[in-house]
Chains A and B, each alone.
Chain A
């Protein structure tokens, strides 16, 4: 069965510093991979997605993620964090032929001044 691991429950980053959120997945083939962000009282918003092609994908709000097959990872990065980036971030995987998304447990990002 598919699974997604986000090893960091909380991360605190200073405003202006770089950010990397880790995501590892368990799946036999190349999955569809996603990063979503959830702010309090808001629904999940898609930051970026990967299926094939260039392993470095660009998303909205200055985020990017890199797919590394050898490490079964899809880490999210941002070069300079803004206070408005404070939120919960979820990595998700989708199996080819099925419609459901399987989410990790999330990483809560705190941004310090």
Chain B
């Protein structure tokens, strides 16, 4: 168990460019979550998957954002036509649904800077 990994760790892009982040959850975890954390704030929920199905999306997830988890393993988060307001830390978490109170395990995050 190597934990949740995220790539890249840092991304600098120019406004208007598209970016894609990857999250590899803990193996066999069936749930995967994306959060966004801006400076001085706590993480805010964006979306989550159970296996390959995207089951919940926040209103924060505008049309420029899309997330996928094609085979129920790793996930990608794409932001199209980036804006300066997209600058944030993007956190991924995973959990194993067991019917009880499950813990979400977080990755180190991808820090996005839009110039």
A-B complex is real: yes
Q: What residues make up the interface of A, taking CB atoms closer than 8 Å to B?
A: 4, 32, 36, 41-46, 49, 51, 90, 92, 98-106
**A43 B109 Cβ-Cβ under 8 A:** yes
**B48 A103 Cβ-Cβ under 8 A:** no
Least distance between B48 CB and chain A CB atoms (Å): 5
**A103 B44 Cβ-Cβ under 8 A:** yes
| B contact residues around A98 at 8 Å (CB) | 56
Residue count of chain B within 8 Å CB distance of chain A: 25
Please name the residue on chain A nearest to B50 by beta carbon. A99
How far is A41 from B48 in the complex, measured between Cα atoms in Å?
23
Contact with A along B52-86 (1 / 0, CB 8 A): 00011010000000000000000000000000000
**B4 A49 Cβ-Cβ under 8 A:** no
Least distance between A98 CB and chain B CB atoms (Å): 7
**A100 B41 Cβ-Cβ under 8 A:** no
| A contact residues around B43 at 8 Å (CB) | 44, 90, 101, 103
| B contact residues around A36 at 8 Å (CB) | 106
| A contact residues around B48 at 8 Å (CB) | 99-100
Contact with A along B29-56 (1 / 0, CB 8 A): 0010101000011111100100000011
How far is A106 from B44 in the complex, measured between Cα atoms in Å?
12
How far is A4 from B106 in the complex, measured between Cα atoms in Å?
20
| A contact residues around B44 at 8 Å (CB) | 103
11 contacts between A and B (CB under 8 A): A32-B101, A43-B4, A43-B108, A44-B106, A46-B104, A51-B101, A90-B42, A90-B43, A99-B55, A103-B44, A104-B42
